[in-house]
């Protein structure tokens, strides 16, 4: 068994414990992880970006606004404070909704080409400022810089895509059964959209929703996650530079304590016509109840518990690469990360052996600003403790730890490989959101499908096979909204993103994403002499 248990020491000479509440500066000791890189930060890391993009106020009606109080944003790798951000409450949220509602009546009358041009300018500015935007993600979210740069490219891609889709919102002319009338179906924007986004993709989850909304002619109020508001505020600065009119794009950051009251305003105000949320299934259900009182349009991208199935016919090297990409991107903190790895008996041992070697060779823990880092921290200590709890539960039920297995100081956790996993273990029954890879052995295709579908959620699923008939059977029978076939990374602006069961409602991205922000109006043009 390979383990990576590494004590960290603070600059004040104390070992870190969760009870301390925050980190001091980390300084190096003679400590190496089994992954082959020093784990302790050898130097202090500073956020060095354009002052224009480091915004800490709310953004409402084209103006930067203060709030009565502020809340700290922390670097999850060190626990150090990055900035203090305006802690907007219900009053500021209401101001933003009112501003968006007023702006809607002019924005919806912009021609589709005018909206398209502005979205394209916003895209260009994201691309121009990609390094600074990526640094923000790394410092407030913990991602390695390579992944943060990838997220900015992904985020910008949605603005580019929807700048083009804005000009392709087509209605219909339907043949009528009556000779004296014409039937027209028009598409019109739903109005103000409340956009509530998560911390794990602090830029891309905004542009995926907002790009579609603005292209359709809607205006928006964004409530970013309390852990990662700086990326949202930087996007607001660039939206302003792009010429997006005042009131069309608004951002109300708030602390964890004020999130319920701000969320209530955004989901219940009668001026809001649409709510779009990405986050946990439990929170999504609460927001659905709030939105139900005023019968708002709702789209939800909620929790996942993705199966990753490797059949005997699979190319094992490709399956290992897919597993590494699917599991360890953002340290396992994506909603489409594979959670349950099902490997058929004949290739089970070979797959695990190669996977363990890949983990040894490719995974490096550290601060995301270090170019050698491939695995950053989890978002907070609670997230690391959850992974630790799942590992302990699995081991207590007979699982074997082949790599990792330990929670490190602060919010770091070792990438962990478990074998002899069974379906009664906690890691196979609930989403992990961390670098834990549990492998379940199976014998038949029917058995694999039964295990894969034994979940109340169904966002993404993956399968590796070279049997074309089997690929079709399994892909069609997996109860998920997205399937990766011989591929571990499937997200792209051109394709629809969304799940089934309790993984959500509606779709984002693709030509279908803009439909979430449009109403269909039927116009009967009668009394014609034809």
Site of tokens 């349950």: 340
Locate 432 and state its tokens.
């992990």
3-state SS of 150-188 is HHHHHHHHHHHHHHHHHHHCCCEEECCCCCCCEEEEEEE
Q: What is the pLDDT along the chain (530 residues), one digit of tens a residue?
A: 333 222 222 223 222 222 222 222 323 222 334 443 344 445 577 889 999 999 999 999 999 999 999 999 999 999 999 999 999 999 999 999 999 999 999 999 999 999 999 999 999 999 999 999 999 999 999 999 999 999 999 999 999 999 999 999 999 999 999 999 999 999 999 999 999 999 999 999 999 999 999 999 999 999 999 999 999 999 999 999 999 999 999 999 999 999 999 999 999 999 999 999 999 999 999 999 999 999 999 999 999 999 999 999 999 999 999 999 999 999 999 999 999 999 999 999 999 999 999 999 999 999 999 999 999 999 999 999 999 999 999 999 999 999 999 999 899 999 999 999 999 999 999 999 999 999 999 999 999 999 999 999 999 999 999 999 999 999 999 999 999 999 999 999 999 999 999 999 999 999 999 999 999 999 999 999 98
Beta carbons of 63 and 232 less than 8 angstroms apart: no
Q: Rounded to 5 degrees, what angle do the CA atoms 495, 278, 327 make?
A: 70
Beta carbons of 339 and 400 less than 8 angstroms apart: no
Locate 282 and state its tokens.
């439990």
pLDDT of residue 40: 44
pLDDT of residue 11: 28
d(CA 486, CA 195): 33
Beta carbons of 375 and 415 less than 8 angstroms apart: yes
d(CA 424, CA 447): 15
Site of tokens 């996007």: 235
Q: Which one, of 296, 225, 247, lies nearest residue 63 by Cα?
A: 247
List, in sequence order, every residue forming a beta bridge with 182; answer none if it has no partner: 525
Answering whether pTM is above 0.95, one says no
Q: Which one, of 511, 520, 424, lies nearest residue 190 by Cα?
A: 520
Q: Which one, of 208, 202, 194, lies nearest residue 264 by Cα?
A: 194
With left for phi above 0 and alpha for psi between -120 and 50, is residue 141 left, alpha or beta? alpha
Q: What are the start-end ranges of the H helices in 166-227?
A: 204-216
d(CA 39, CA 416): 16
Locate 383 and state its tokens.
């997230």
pLDDT of residue 43: 58
DSSP letter assigned to residue 343 = E
Neighbours of 5 (CB within 10 A): 12
Beta carbons of 8 and 40 less than 8 angstroms apart: yes
Tell me the per-residue pLDDT of 461-508, one tens digit each, with 9 for 90 and over. 999 999 999 999 999 999 999 999 999 999 999 999 999 999 999 999
Beta carbons of 390 and 374 less than 8 angstroms apart: no
Q: Which one, of 33, 43, 7, lies nearest residue 367 by Cα?
A: 43
pLDDT of residue 46: 81
Catalytic residues: 301, 335
pLDDT of residue 26: 27
The full DSSP string for 360-401 is HHH--BS-TTSTT-SB---SSHHHHHHHHHHHHHHHHTT-EE
């Amino acid at each position: 068994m390979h383990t990576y248990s590494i004590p960290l020491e603070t600059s004040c000479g104390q070992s870190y414990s969760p009870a301390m509440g925050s980190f001091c500066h980390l300084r190096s000791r003679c400590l190496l992880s089994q992954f082959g890189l020093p784990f302790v930060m050898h130097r202090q890391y500073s956020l060095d970006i354009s002052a224009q993009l480091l915004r800490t106020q709310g953004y409402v009606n084209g103006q930067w606004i203060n709030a009565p109080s502020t809340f700290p944003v922390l670097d999850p790798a060190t626990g150090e404070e990055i900035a203090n951000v305006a802690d907007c409450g219900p009053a500021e949220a209401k101001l933003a909704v009112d501003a968006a509602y007023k702006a809607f009546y002019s924005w919806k009358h912009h021609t589709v080409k005018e909206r398209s041009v502005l979205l394209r300018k916003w895209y260009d500015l994201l691309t121009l400022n990609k390094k600074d935007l990526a640094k923000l993600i790394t410092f407030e979210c913990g991602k390695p810089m390579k992944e943060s740069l990838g997220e900015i490219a992904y985020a910008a891609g949605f603005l580019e895509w929807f700048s083009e889709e804005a000009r392709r919102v087509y209605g219909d002319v339907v043949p009528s059964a009556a000779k004296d009338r014409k039937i027209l179906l028009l598409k019109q924007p739903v109005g103000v959209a409340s956009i509530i986004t998560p911390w794990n993709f602090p830029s891309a989850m905004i542009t995926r929703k907002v790009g579609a909304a603005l292209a359709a002619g809607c205006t928006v109020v964004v409530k970013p996650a309390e852990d990662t508001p700086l990326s949202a505020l930087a996007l607001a600065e660039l939206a302003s530079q792009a010429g997006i009119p005042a009131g069309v794009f608004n951002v109300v950051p708030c602390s964890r304590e004020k999130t319920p009251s701000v969320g209530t305003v955004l989901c219940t105000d009668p001026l809001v016509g649409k709510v779009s949320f990405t986050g946990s299934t439990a929170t999504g259900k609460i927001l659905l109840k709030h939105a139900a009182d005023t019968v708002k349009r709702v789209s939800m991208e909620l929790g996942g518990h993705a199966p990753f199935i490797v059949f005997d016919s699979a190319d094992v090297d490709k399956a290992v690469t897919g597993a590494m990409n699917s599991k360890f991107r953002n340290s396992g903190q994506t909603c489409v990360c594979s959670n349950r790895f099902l490997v058929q008996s004949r290739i089970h041992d070979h797959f695990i052996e190669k996977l363990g070697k890949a983990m040894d060779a490719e995974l490096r823990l550290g601060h995301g600003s270090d170019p050698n880092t491939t695995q950053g921290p989890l978002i907070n200590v609670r997230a690391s403790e959850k992974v630790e709890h799942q590992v302990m539960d699995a081991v207590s039920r007979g699982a074997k730890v082949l790599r990792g297995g330990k929670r490190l100081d602060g919010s770091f956790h070792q990438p962990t490989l478990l074998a002899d996993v069974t379906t009664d273990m906690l890691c196979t029954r609930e989403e992990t959101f961390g670098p834990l890879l549990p492998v379940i052995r199976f014998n038949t295709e029917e058995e694999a499908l039964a295990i894969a579908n034994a979940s109340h959620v169904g966002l993404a699923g993956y399968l590796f096979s070279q049997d074309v008939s089997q690929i079709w059977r399994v892909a069609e029978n997996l109860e998920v909204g997205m399937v990766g076939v011989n591929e571990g990374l499937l997200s792209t602006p051109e394709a629809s993103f969304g799940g089934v069961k309790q993984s959500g409602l509606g779709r984002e991205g693709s030509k279908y994403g803009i439909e979430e922000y449009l109403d269909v109006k039927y116009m009967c043009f009668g009394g014609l002499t034809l």
